[in-house]
Structure 1
Amino acid sequence: MRAVLPTGALDDATKTLGDISDQFYAGFLAWVLIAVGLYFTIRSRAVQFRLFPEMIRTVFGSRGNAEGGISSFQAFTIGLASRVGTGNIVGVAIAITLGGPGAIFWMWVVALVGMATGFIESTLAQMFKVPAADGSFRGGPAYYITRGLGSRTWGGVFAVVITFVFGFAYEATQANTIAGAVNGVLENHGQEVEPWVIGAVLVALTAPIVFKGIKRVARVAEWMAPIMALIYALLAIVILVLHVDAIPGAFKAIFEGAFGLNATFAGISGGFYAAAINGIKRGLFSNEAGEGSVPNAAATATTSHPVNQGFIQSMGVFVDTIIVCTATALIVMLSGLYDSAANLAGPEATAAADAAKKTLTSDSVAYVLGEWSQYLMALIIFVFAYSSLLGNYTYAEINVDFLRGSRSNHTWLRLMILVATYVGAVASLDFVWNLSDIAMGAMAVINIVAITLLGKWAFGALRDWEAQNRELREGRREEIRFVGKGNPYLPGDLPGDVWAPRGAAAAVAEAPVAQG
């Protein structure tokens, strides 16, 4: 049987933290993130729609040599590895269970406006990054808060919070999900693996990668993240083809449910409010736009212009929610297994959410394709969670470098990752999960304030890129290359010399990437 943490006082603390988290996200943070996304959409003249083709070209044209650093595509896959995780399988199932099909519409809304936020924060991460000892770069909110806003204190606060969240709490929850997925399949066949065995295997798989540092994580994520997303998308396509006649009805249910027009989901836990809150909360958790996590990966890339990485990470929000989360939603909806849980309240709703967290998506796939597909889903969940575990380590290491210097010893952090991995596999982690949700919310608030104040730098970088792109198309320029000093589109000179004419970015920049 699975080992669990002590009950009693811890149970009360877990419930209290859960209530705080729900109120904080639903009553404040969700709406702030949407408002910020709309603001950035307007100020950037809808960059996520206007320059969407450029985003696609940049992603597929960024696999070049980074001269010893990390390529833009590798940085994209690190961010994708962390984004595309259990939230895309578990989170969507819970959203539909508690909010009805309409929750998916609000996940789409969050993603589409969040693409602008993702563009801004990742562009800023590139602009204020610093060179690292291993030939790559380091950056993210802690760095642009310190270098852009001149506040080392708040940069340090952010770094401490994100190190806890991604260095321990989220690592543990991903390992917990893997253990649950494996035993969920085995229990259906009257078998079970001891949690400590799963924990030991995960530690053995994780240690060789994290002890090689960010570059090794980047090389693994470069193939693992795209493959896992592709396999899952293909699985959804197969299910859609087998049930093509039901697709219009599924989309109709999504749009009707989004505005409370479907009477089936207009009860206590359904209707407009439940659809919006559950869709927004789960969408934000999944795509991470504005939370300040993905910019840590974006900053590591070697690229010729900060906007390139802004394009790439904005596309990451699209892939995560519009593609992967939609695939999950259609799988669940076409099975019809969620109907009995979508209109409950109180303890029954909580129990339904717990059931969705464990098996709803896997059960939906098995219902459509047969019992054999449970094994495939267990493998997909494993890869999703494992790649997130690796991507999360990257964020922690970058912020440890901020706190202790780029040449700091990461042995203690890597050991903490392994401990979190083992603990996650053998323990019930509701307490840590709720605590980390609150910490992530605090992290997001700090980041939102920072990127709003620093947004003018990203807007200036975008104008610079657009001007150079016009010259490139007209034949008056051979490549797009960003310079951070004396740039008329910026509000001032960037600190340091990474983006100086002969700075670190120019010295090791990869070949021109999808410049036109």
Structure 2
Amino acid sequence: MISEYVGIINGYLWGSILIYMLTACGIWFTWRLKLIQIRHFTHMFTLLKNSRKSSSQGISSFQALCTTLAARVGTGNLMGVAVAITLGGAGAIFWMWLIAFVGMATAYAESALGQLYKEKDSNNNYRGGPAYYMRKGLNSPALAVTFSLCLFFGYGFVFSAVQANSITDAFQGSYGVDPLVSGIVITVFAGLIILGGLKNIARFAELAVPFMGVAYLLVALCVIGLNIDKIPGIIVNIFQSAFGLAEAGGGVVGAAIVQGVKRGLYSNEAGMGSSPNAAAAADPHPPHPASQGYIQMLAVFFDTVIICSCTAFLILLMDGTQGSFEGIQLTQQALVQQVGSWGSDFITLAIMLFGFTSIVANFAYADNNLKYLNMDNLLGRWFLRIGFLSMLVYGSVATLGEMINLADLATGLMTVVNVTALFLLSKAVITITKDYQQQLKAKQLPTYLVDEQEVTALKLTPGIWNK
């Protein structure tokens, strides 16, 4: 019965509401920020040069990038792309690219706002995110609590269970390991890391994310390079399928759009309101909230345009055997067909690293929002820890369909609330972007300093950005 109701709600959310909201939000900020993802494309990369600077109050921009990539670059890049192609055809990849392109502007807006409205916790560490800019910027405690509940449900319980499901499925497919056994092992190791707090999670992500990303890209690019003569045909097929030129009937196009947007959002998280939680914890360089917007645009580009595309090409290079596999096992078999039996082992290792880093980053997001649920105390933190770790075990033995439906529900609820807030806070995003770009044009290091009057007008936390 629960599964049936979840399916009905998802049908409304993803059948119309979110498709229009996400597209409109991405187009809105792309227009209002004057194609920022194209005009300042190279600037995103230049910010990496000094991104490892941090302080006792916040993590570095590079750690924030790696933390959000740890959450983004997970099973969505390996399992999610496979699901999109299985249910939506090759055309789903085009819509995944499109939602990533406009989503870069959305990611910029939400992460810049996360930085702008951040504050310090009892340990003098920076904290922030959608709940913070909803309460301060919109003066809406109710909206902040609503979002925190949605995020707590998604990142505290559901999303990590999906990651655990894919990891245990990969180990079962490759080595026949009982999902419950591998699930318990994952849970134990996750528990050891999350007990160390956000800075411990950020340090782990800083080490693991570059390693796992580069290793997967090298293998995928080698396979693509060996099949470079087939890639133009695959790209043509993606575009034709996206607009129904390769199949009969419009239903295939509809499935491609829905699956592309669903899996694209689940992978890159633009508009969900997750990345601002990590972006707000950073002590940015340049010392301006807009700089974190640029850093998180880069995360969306790397996640979807680079990694998801590599997975898509691997799967679409398969010789007509896609239908006999699903989820992560489809990605495994795609690589096996290209490189031999060790391809299954490699994908198992990749999904373990991708999924595990996502698991620990997801906990950081949930923990960051305990304040707005009046649970930022010893009892609340242990409730989250026990519930979070228990769901890892449950996700290990649940079916893929059950976990995907719950993930789609949590993703949809978070996105509806956050995108609404982003539209209402457009003026603040545009204001800080103009300030940053004017200083950049004048060849100055962009620095955000405001007087008491501006602090009051924008409802910022006193002492964070004051002159």
Does the pair score TM above 0.5? yes
1:376 aligns with 2:346: yes
Which letter maps to 1:193?
V
Which letter maps to 1:385?
G
Whether the 8 Å CA contact 1:33–1:290 is kept in 2: the answer is yes
Q: Distance in 1 between matches of 2:2 and 2:70?
A: 31
Q: Distance in 1 between matches of 2:39 and 2:353?
A: 34
**SS of residue paired to 1:356:** coil
Which letter maps to 2:345?
Y
Q: Distance in 1 between matches of 2:192 and 2:162?
A: 20
Aligned length: 464
Structure 2 residue aligned with 1:357: 327
Structure 2 residue aligned with 1:279: 260
Structure 2 residue aligned with 1:496: 461
Per-residue displacement from partner, 1:165-224 (whole Å, max 9, x unpaired)? 1111112221121111100112xxxxx323332122112211111001111000001121
Q: Distance in 2 between matches of 1:406 and 1:463?
A: 36
Whether the 8 Å CA contact 1:111–1:317 is kept in 2: the answer is yes
How much has 1:86 moved relative to structure 2?
0.7
How much has 1:94 moved relative to structure 2?
1.8
Structure 2 residue aligned with 1:480: 446
Structure 2 residue aligned with 1:157: 146
TM-score, normalised to structure 2, is: 0.94
Structure 2 residue aligned with 1:6: none
Q: Distance in 2 between matches of 1:367 and 1:268?
A: 32
How much has 1:276 moved relative to structure 2?
2.1
**SS of residue paired to 1:70:** coil
1:308 aligns with 2:279: no
Whether the 8 Å CA contact 1:79–1:294 is kept in 2: the answer is yes
How much has 1:77 moved relative to structure 2?
0.9
1:195-274 map, 5 Å: 195-262=179-246, 265-266=247-248, 270=252, 272-274=253-255
Q: Distance in 1 between matches of 2:398 and 2:242?
A: 37
Structure 2 residue aligned with 1:449: 420
**SS of residue paired to 2:63:** helix
Whether the 8 Å CA contact 2:54–2:283 is kept in 1: the answer is no
Q: Distance in 2 between matches of 1:209 and 1:439?
A: 24
Point out the more displaced range, 446-455 or 223-232. 223-232
How much has 1:406 moved relative to structure 2?
5.9
Q: Distance in 2 between matches of 1:131 and 1:141?
A: 15
Whether the 8 Å CA contact 1:332–1:361 is kept in 2: the answer is yes
Q: Distance in 2 between matches of 1:315 and 1:274?
A: 28
Check 1:251–1:43 CA distance in 2 against 1; reply closer, same or farther (3 A cut): same
Q: Which runs of 5+ in 1 are unaligned?
A: 1-11, 187-191, 342-351, 503-516
Which letter maps to 2:104?
M
1:291 aligns with 2:257: no
1:42 to 20, 26, 31: 31
Whether the 8 Å CA contact 2:54–2:61 is kept in 1: the answer is no
Q: Which runs of 5+ in 2 are unaligned?
A: none
Structure 2 residue aligned with 1:463: 434
Structure 2 residue aligned with 1:184: 173
Structure 2 residue aligned with 1:509: none
Which letter maps to 1:466?
Q
Q: Distance in 1 between matches of 2:152 and 2:361?
A: 13
Whether the 8 Å CA contact 1:165–1:436 is kept in 2: the answer is yes
Q: Distance in 2 between matches of 1:42 and 1:486?
A: 31
Bigger CA radius of gyration: 1
Whether the 8 Å CA contact 2:201–2:364 is kept in 1: the answer is yes
**SS of residue paired to 1:115:** helix
- Give 4+ residue runs of structure 1 displaced > 6 Å after superposition: none
TM-score, normalised to structure 1, is: 0.85
Q: Distance in 2 between matches of 1:500 and 1:109?
A: 35
1:173 aligns with 2:162: yes
Identity of aligned residues (%): 38
Which letter maps to 1:245?
D
